[in-house]
Amino acid sequence: MKIIKTDIEGVVIIEPRLFCDARGYFFESFSQREFEAEVAPIRFVQDNESKSSYGVVRGLHFQKPPHAQAKLVRVISGRVLDIAVDIRRGSPTFGRHIAVELTGENHRQFFLPRGCAHGFSVLSEEAIFQYKCDNYYAPQSEGALAWNDPTLAIDWRIPADKVVLSGKDNHHPYLNDADVWLFDYNENLY
């Protein structure tokens, strides 16, 4: 796999090696040994999948300690714009985001370490999205930021009148109002 580092520490894009022939293609979507050697010593414990239609924006979600999660995300079919936001107080990239297009055709994966909020917008008619987490879902530890926070200035590539949100995702605080939920860059989150 090819590892592409981003401007946010720990956030990486992963491109698999594809083996193609007349039958189609094959690629190894995950290897614990290779992931630990090339990205981080993470042990994933839960896989999730969602299906969404065009215009859906999910996020910006995270889990607060002690149930914080690192995520490895990918698209099985369709196309999404995936977003990682650094919410580690004291980080040199605090409040910055990385956006990467994930598709069923490019097979890219996106790794978000603990301390990042995560979200995505669906750019295709529909998309099937999968992700691995290194900690179990804990509803009491849910945290989120407003998808349209002007200080984050995220271009979701969806016209505002076409954005589809859950009831919950329509009422999250801005980054500047969420200080109590944020992570400490100097604290070991693992």
Q: Note down pLDDT in tens along the chain; length 190 residues.
A: 899 999 999 999 999 888 888 998 888 889 999 999 999 999 999 999 999 999 999 999 999 999 999 999 999 999 999 999 999 999 999 999 999 999 999 999 999 999 999 999 999 999 999 999 999 999 999 999 999 999 999 999 999 999 999 999 999 999 998 766 789 999 989 8
Q: Are 79 and 124 in contact (CB under 8 A)?
A: yes
Rounded Cα distance, 140 and 96, in Å: 26
pLDDT for 132? 97
pLDDT for 20? 87
First-last CA distance in the chain: 24
pLDDT for 81? 98
Q: Provide the 8-state DSSP code for 143.
A: E
User: Catalytic: 67?
Assistant: no
pLDDT for 91? 95
* pTM, two decimal places: 0.94
- Determine which one of 61, 67, 97, 107 is catalytic: 61
Strands 57-63 and 71-77: unpaired
* Strand runs labelled E in the chain: 2-5, 12-15, 19-21, 24-26, 46-53, 57-63, 71-77, 79-86, 88-89, 97-103, 109-112, 116-122, 126-133, 142-144, 183-184
pLDDT for 48? 97
User: Domains plus CATH for the chain?
Assistant: 2-184 (2.60.120.10)
DSSP string, 14-52: EEPPPEEETTEEE-----HHHHHHHT------EEEEEEE
* SS3 assignment, position 126: strand
User: Catalytic: 61?
Assistant: yes
- Determine which one of 25, 131, 174, 185 is catalytic: 131
Rounded Cα distance, 100 and 121, in Å: 11
Residue type, 32: Q
Rounded Cα distance, 72 and 162, in Å: 27
Q: Residues of 17-49 as b/e, b for ≥16 C-beta within 10 angstroms?
A: eeeeeeeeeeeeeeeeeebeeebbebebeeeee
Let me know if 180 is exposed, middle or buried by CB neighbors in 10 A (0-12, 13-18, 19+). Answer: exposed
